[in-house]
Amino acid sequence: MGAKDLARKVGAPLRPLYRRAGMEPGFLVIGTKRGGSTSCYEWIAQHPQVAPCRTGKGTHYFDVNYTRGEAWFRSGFPAQRDPWRITGEGSPYYMFHPLAVERIAATLPEVRLIAVLRDPVERAWSHYKYEVSRGHETLGFAEALDAEPERLRGEEDRLRADPAYVSEAHRYHTYLQRGHYAEQLQRVYAHVDPERVLVLRSEELFADPHEQLARVWAFLGLDRVDLEGLRAHKAAAEVSSVPEDQAARLAAYYAPHNAALLELTGVDVSAPV
């Protein structure tokens, strides 16, 4: 009996395996969007003991590609060879998607997670400008902030109810909610031991990348290396230009959220570097 006949007999879907499954991912960079997660992952991938993901920064498996199946996900990582000790990927949507961390914990029970958090005021403005540049946003900044609650109404419930559902509003227009870091990390800690979660502050990462990466190497069990020619990607190179009135509005909005994060993790995203 051929593979297709067997699949029809047992009613199993046929999912092509593009490559054999490789190393078990040992780390994920889980967020935040426009917080420096791209730079963080790219720098980690430069460590000689880290095997890079075959698809670049990551697969987006645990958020928007979950229906592709675990075999598809695992095919995105290379086979073990020296000197590699660990492999992993990153998605800034993993920390925010309502089901991603639960899926991660079920699939990779020993994985280590890295969250890179940025001043939420700066992050919201950067996020907004990014979506405007990509054609996902047509409203002004203040209008987009005002529209967020209505845009998101019912979207999290839809994401939970249908694994195949992809919400553009939840992914692209969450300028305010993405900065609720304490809420997101509490959800992470509900599924992953806090000892397997490293929280970095974006501003500190880019002010002194070698010192912060030393924390990453220790966290991942890698030898200490000082990478040369580190170059910031995307959000890290921006110069702030948040409109003053909206900056004041956002600072007041995020004050209780930042206080909750400080109590939870000891990380103060509102303090100057």
Q: What is the pLDDT of residue 19?
A: 54
Enter the DSSP assignment of 225.
Answer: -
Mean pLDDT on 170-186: 98
Give yes or no for residue 236 having a pLDDT over 70.
no
Long-range residue pairs from 143-146, CB within 8 A, at least 24 positions apart, any chain: 144/173, 144/175, 145/175, 145/176, 145/246, 145/249, 145/250
Which domains are present in the chain? 20-224+239-265 (3.40.50.300)
Query: Is the whole model's pTM more than 0.75, yes or no?
Result: yes
Interatomic CA distance for residues 261 and 34, integer angstroms: 18
For the stretch 110-161, pLDDT in tens is 999 999 999 999 999 999 999 999 999 999 999 999 999 999 999 999 999 9
Can you tell me whether residue 116 is helix, strand or coil?
A: strand
Mean pLDDT on 168-172: 97
Which residue in the block uniquely carries the two structure tokens 């994401």? 159
Task: Tell me the pLDDT band of 3, cut-offs 50, 70 and 90.
Answer: very low
Direct distance between the N- and C-terminal alpha carbons of the chain, in angstroms, rounded to an integer: 65
Residues contacting residue 177 through CB under 8 Å, at least 6 positions apart: 96, 148, 152
